[in-house]
């Protein structure tokens, strides 16, 4: 296709005039000058034609290379041209759609009001962008992100529309999966803790006069022994079968898995038979489960309560169910206990601390991140920082993580705490970057509840985008206990996906679990953190020295870095350096530092560096003897 040459070119008109003048001019010199002018003008026209052809070819190549579908229509929205990506996405060849109205490709999901708004926006602004559903040649519907721009002539009249679109089916599917993971237990398919809170709130809101809610929190007695004896795979199948039987028993009610071997049941009823209902659940679920030739009869510990008698808010009812369950556990296995007010008195101090932790999360002012540096033994250079969560209570001062973390796990606050750590660590890293502070990897600890409740990936992605921090700079540390926690499911694929995004992954407290070597072969890891228990007695304890040496040899074979935790003496440092350990962390180098203390140290080191540079320059400037 030849490009159209614009006639709005003075040199071309001059060339045409000179060509005609060369015929009738009487003087030979003037004729030659006219011919020269005509030749120059024609040469310029030919050069413009070649440039237009080149631009046209480059435009065609760009349309061929791009992965976005392109449609060019006339002012009546009839399709004039499409690119190969259009065919790849929709299945239609250009000959099949040429001349059709582009609106005929739309799926019948949008009403006339949608298209009225579409055309109003396009005609008033000359462009439109948004999500729209279209239909492929095979008939299946798919979502696309569409950008439309009107192309006008010199008089301002619309001549064409150019449409660029991309298939966002995979993105939408990932969004659905994230929403599903966020509200659904991956093993049983039942609602998870977060979804159960929503469902309980809804049931309470719609409770009619004369109706009550019966609730029971069930814990399988001795499930860990079942897992250890029969294996995790069979244990998972047992949990799934347990959930199925429970759901059949409470048809029309709500059944969910809180985590591990804990389940929750909610029913709306007009009967005053709470104790009989709980006893019926316990008896039905106590019938044997047949799995791979094993006949398993389970014991259950149950904590229960009833609304509105025992409370009218979902948060209060969850706390009272947990109080009843843990009080029942203290009375022995296979025991049922309904909530009573005296349990609130027994649990009051801990529940008060839970409420204060909720307030701390809501306000954010009491929570802090302290940072413990990690150093390279080769040159004592800073290699990274571990972010450690601290709670500075306004009345009680610093509260130990060993006190509030178990409470957070028990009362469903770990996901919120983990998200707080992710966001504040990334915000701090972005601040340090703007201030010109050293840029080193920061490592955060990941709990089983964060993995189990499914918000981890979404929280990381949102935080990285919000603070413009690279994923490779935020490391994730998981303890071996997390890997062995059945609530988290199979973590290997999720860790692999996180590593593909750029996050380095480490195993914390390595050596304290009982399946370390088996997991190492299959998990996508970058680093091991050797537990301080093996470092404490170095270099004098021969057994610990042999264990450390063996772990380092194994890590070298698996291409993993090793960080030795709890280094407190020069002798420990020297031993670790001698056996080839690369990284260390501990009080010998630094305690966990507040942000202010860490920044003050960096500023001091920067001043020392400037002073040393100035001294060196001054000495070089001195005349040599």
3-state secondary structure at position 109: coil
- Domain assignment present for residue 457? The answer is yes
Query: Which of left, alpha, beta for 274 (phi over 0: left; psi -120 to 50: alpha)?
Result: alpha
Residue 476's CB is within 10 A of a number of other CB atoms, namely 22
Q: Are residues 481 and 584 in the same domain?
A: yes
Q: pLDDT value at position 515? A: 45
Could you tell me the pTM of the whole model?
0.49
Q: Are residues 550 and 432 in the same domain?
A: yes
pLDDT at 570 over 70: yes
Q: Are residues 411 and 267 in the same domain?
A: no
Q: Are residues 420 and 462 in the same domain?
A: yes
Sign of the C-alpha dihedral computed for residues 68, 72, 75 and 76 taken in this order: negative
Q: What percent of the chain has pLDDT over 90?
A: 29
Query: Domain end: 49, 64, 79, which one?
Result: 64
Q: pLDDT value at position 161? A: 92
Query: Domain end: 64, 80, 107, which one?
Result: 64
pLDDT band at 624 (very low <50, low <70, confident <90, very high): very low
pLDDT at 348 over 60: no
- Which of 18-22, 215-219, 267-271, 295-299 has the weakest average pLDDT? 18-22
Q: Are residues 119 and 18 in the same domain?
A: no
Write the pLDDT tens digit of every residue in 440-484: 999 999 887 677 655 788 889 889 999 999 999 999 998 766 665
Q: Are residues 534 and 581 in the same domain?
A: yes
Q: Are residues 156 and 194 in the same domain?
A: no
pLDDT band at 326 (very low <50, low <70, confident <90, very high): confident
- Domain assignment present for residue 129? The answer is yes
- Domain assignment present for residue 625? The answer is no
Report in angstroms the alpha-carbon separations of 519 from 54, 366, 481, 490, 524: 59, 37, 12, 11, 10
- Which of 1-10, 75-84, 239-248, 467-476 has the weakest average pLDDT? 1-10
Alpha-carbon distance 326 to 321, whole Å?
A: 9
Query: Domain end: 101, 136, 167, which one?
Result: 167
Q: State how far Cα 5 lies from the chain centre.
A: 54
Q: pLDDT value at position 5? A: 45
* Residue 406 DSSP class: H
* Residue 3 DSSP class: P
pLDDT band at 181 (very low <50, low <70, confident <90, very high): low
Residue 251's CB is within 10 A of a number of other CB atoms, namely 8
- Domain assignment present for residue 455? The answer is yes
Classify residue 78 as exposed, middle or buried by CB count within 10 Å of its CB (0-12, 13-18, 19+): middle
CA dihedral defined by 237, 241, 484, 264, rounded to 10 degrees?
170
Q: pLDDT value at position 550? A: 86
Write the pLDDT tens digit of every residue in 533-557: 888 888 888 888 888 888 888 888 8
Provide the token pair at 46.
């030919």
Alpha-carbon distance 508 to 265, whole Å?
A: 36
Q: Are residues 223 and 321 in the same domain?
A: yes
Classify residue 162 as exposed, middle or buried by CB count within 10 Å of its CB (0-12, 13-18, 19+): middle
pLDDT band at 489 (very low <50, low <70, confident <90, very high): low
Q: pLDDT value at position 266? A: 95
Question: Is the Cβ–Cβ distance between 302 and 337 less than 8 Å?
Answer: yes
Q: pLDDT value at position 251? A: 81
* Domains held by the chain: number: 4
Provide the token pair at 178.
């994230």
For the chain, give the mean pLDDT. Answer: 81
- Domain assignment present for residue 26? The answer is yes
Sheet holding 141-152, edge to edge: 79-82, 69-74, 158-167, 141-152, 127-135
3-state secondary structure at position 589: coil
Report in angstroms the alpha-carbon separations of 225 from 220, 409, 513: 11, 22, 16
Alpha-carbon distance 475 to 527, whole Å?
A: 10
Q: pLDDT value at position 564? A: 92
Write the pLDDT tens digit of every residue in 414-448: 888 888 999 999 999 999 998 888 889 999 998 87
Quote the Cα angle for 417-422-426, to 5°.
Answer: 145
Residue 340's CB is within 10 A of a number of other CB atoms, namely 14
- Domain assignment present for residue 624? The answer is no
* CATH at 228: 3.30.70.270
Q: Are residues 447 and 565 in the same domain?
A: yes
- Which of 42-51, 269-278, 299-308, 384-393 has the weakest average pLDDT? 42-51
Q: Are residues 300 and 379 in the same domain?
A: no
What residues pair up with 478 in beta bridges, in sequence order?
A: 446, 507
Print the domain residue range for 375. 365-593
pLDDT at 237 over 60: yes
Residue 238's CB is within 10 A of a number of other CB atoms, namely 21
Q: Are residues 475 and 406 in the same domain?
A: yes
* CATH at 384: 3.20.20.450
- Domain assignment present for residue 234? The answer is yes
Q: Are residues 433 and 527 in the same domain?
A: yes
Question: Is the Cβ–Cβ distance between 311 and 320 less than 8 Å?
Answer: yes
- Domain assignment present for residue 548? The answer is yes
């Amino acid at each position: 296709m030849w490009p159209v040459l614009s006639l709005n070119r003075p040199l071309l008109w001059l060339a045409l005039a000179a060509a005609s003048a060369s015929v009738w001019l009487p003087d030979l010199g003037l004729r030659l000058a006219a011919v020269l002018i005509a030749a120059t003008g024609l040469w310029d026209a030919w050069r413009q034609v070649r440039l237009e052809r080149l631009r046209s070819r480059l435009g065609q190549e760009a349309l061929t290379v791009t992965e976005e579908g392109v449609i060019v229509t006339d002012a009546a929205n009839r399709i004039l041209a499409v690119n190969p990506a259009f065919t790849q996405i929709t299945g239609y060849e250009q000959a099949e759609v040429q001349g059709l109205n582009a609106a005929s490709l739309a799926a019948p999901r949008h009403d006339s009001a949608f298209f009225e708004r579409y055309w109003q926006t396009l005609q008033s602004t000359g462009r439109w962008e948004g999500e729209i559903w279209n239909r492929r040649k095979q008939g299946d519907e798919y979502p696309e992100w569409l950008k439309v721009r009107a192309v006008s002539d010199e008089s301002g009249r619309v001549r064409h529309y150019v449409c660029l679109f991309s298939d966002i089916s995979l993105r939408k599917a990932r969004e659905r999966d994230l929403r599903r993971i966020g509200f659904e237990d991956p093993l049983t398919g039942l609602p998870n803790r977060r979804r159960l809170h929503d469902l309980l709130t809804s049931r309470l809101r719609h409770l009619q006069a004369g109706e009550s809610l019966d609730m029971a929190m069930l814990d399988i007695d001795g499930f860990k022994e079942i897992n250890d004896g029969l294996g995790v795979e069979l244990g998972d199948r047992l949990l799934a079968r347990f959930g199925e039987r429970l759901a059949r028993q409470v048809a029309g009610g709500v059944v969910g898995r809180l985590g591990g071997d804990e389940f929750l049941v909610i029913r709306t009823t007009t009967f005053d038979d709470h104790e009989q209902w709980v006893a019926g659940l316990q008896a039905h679920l106590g019938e044997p489960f047949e799995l791979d030739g094993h006949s398993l009869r389970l014991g259950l510990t149950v904590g229960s309560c009833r609304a509105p008698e025992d409370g009218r808010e979902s948060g209060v009812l969850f706390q009272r169910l947990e109080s009843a369950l843990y009080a029942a556990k203290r009375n022995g296995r296979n025991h049922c206990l309904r909530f009573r007010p005296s349990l609130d008195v027994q649990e009051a101090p801990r529940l008060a601390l839970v409420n204060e932790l909720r307030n701390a999360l809501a306000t954010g002012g009491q929570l802090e991140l302290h940072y413990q540096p990690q150093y390279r033994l080769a040159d004592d250079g800073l290699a990274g920082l571990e972010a450690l969560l601290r709670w500075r209570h306004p009345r009680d001062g610093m509260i130990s993580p060993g006190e509030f973390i178990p409470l957070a796990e028990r009362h469903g606050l770990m996901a919120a705490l983990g998200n707080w750590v992710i966001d504040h660590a990334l915000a701090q890293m972005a601040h340090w970057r703007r201030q010109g502070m050293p840029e080193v990897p920061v490592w955060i600890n990941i709990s089983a509840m964060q993995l189990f409740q499914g918000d981890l990936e979404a929280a990381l992605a949102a935080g990285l985008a919000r603070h413009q921090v690279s994923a490779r700079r935020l490391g994730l540390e998981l303890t071996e206990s997390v890997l062995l926690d059945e609530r988290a499911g199979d973590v290997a694929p999720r860790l692999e996906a996180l590593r593909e995004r750029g996050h380095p992954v480490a195993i914390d407290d390595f050596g304290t679990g009982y399946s370390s070597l088996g997991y190492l072969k299959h998990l996508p890891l970058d680093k091991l953190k050797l537990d301080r228990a093996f470092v404490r007695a170095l270099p004098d304890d021969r057994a610990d020295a042999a264990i450390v040496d063996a772990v380092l040899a194994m890590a070298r074979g698996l291409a993993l870095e090793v960080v030795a935790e709890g280094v407190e003496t020069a002798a420990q440092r020297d031993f670790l350096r001698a056996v080839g350990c690369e990284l260390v962390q501990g009080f010998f180098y630094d305690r966990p530092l507040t942000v202010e203390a860490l920044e003050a140290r960096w500023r001091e080191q920067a001043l020392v560096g400037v002073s040393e540079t100035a001294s060196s320059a001054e000495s070089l400037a001195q005349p040599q003897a």
